[in-house]
Amino acid sequence: MSPPTMFHRLSAEFIGTFWLVLGGCGSAVFAAKFLSDDISVGIGFLGVALAFGLTVLTGVYAFGTISGGHFNPAVTLGAALAGRVEWKAVPGYWIVQVLGGLVGGLIIYVIASGRAGFEATGNMAANGYGDNSPGGYSMTAVLIAEVVLTGVFLLVILGSTDDRAPKGFAGLSIGLTLTLIHLISIPISNTSVNPARSTGVAFFNGDGAPGQLWLFWVAPLVGAAIAGIAYPYLFGRAEQLAERPVRDDELDAQPTA
């Protein structure tokens, strides 16, 4: 079977990022605080966190074998620094990821506008700090949270997709990690760890979100870069296994004196 072409890879990244924004941000816009007969049946923070995790989980299993299942410029940068993807692919990945996020944001906006009284300003699940932080967290607090959580996210991704990792579980590990990240940081920044996700809704949201978008590019890219550079030094590459413990089956295969 021939490897995927660059067109196939970029198509997978576009659709995967579109799905992440539509599923994750869409759940926040449409379902987080839904009222029925004055009774809250919304999914709340937990539901939104699960929605983001499920979009990545399903996207990785659907498209991971085609493009690597990044759906996130920070993931692409970390993967390139760790030697998991060629540098020449990075610009194309970033472009289609941002475009996929914007289309996802547009679809959310169009659907949400079909409800009488909907006001997009401040209600499109945008990321923010200060007055735009759900919990009123400062720029410094949000910056630290986004750097650290993106770095941990990348370490999990690189570890889960390492040749030494159990096969077939990467999507589950990555999706659950993103869920946990959202459970931690929705109150802090509405959780980005993904510049394409932030860009996808910022301009529809307005209310200061476009002006704060720089942080949600800088912080995730810094966190991902740190993890991408550190991973090979901390844990070695797949080919750097000379000093690993010898398994019992390998001992059995060795000739005896």
Residue 119 has pLDDT above 70, yes or no: yes
Q: Which residues contact 137 (CB under 8 A, 6 or more apart)?
A: 129, 130, 145, 187, 188, 189
Q: Which residues contact 161 (CB under 8 A, 6 or more apart)?
A: 68, 84, 170
Type of residue numbered 73: P
Supply the pTM of this predicted model: 0.90
Q: Where are the domains of the chain?
A: 6-236
pLDDT-based confidence at 238, cuts 50/70/90?
A: low
Type of residue numbered 196: A
- The CATH code of domain 6-236 reads 1.20.1080.10
Torsion from C-alpha of 91, 97, 98, 100, nearest 10 degrees: 140
Percent of the chain with pLDDT over 70: 91
Type of residue numbered 159: G
What secondary structure does DSSP assign to 129-194, as a single string? SGGGSTT---HHHHHHHHHHHHHHHHHHHHHHTSTTSPTT-HHHHHHHHHHHHHHHHHHHHS--S-
CA 22/CA 45 separation, integer angstroms: 16
Residue 5 has pLDDT above 60, yes or no: yes
Least confident interval from 104-108, 151-155, 238-242: 238-242
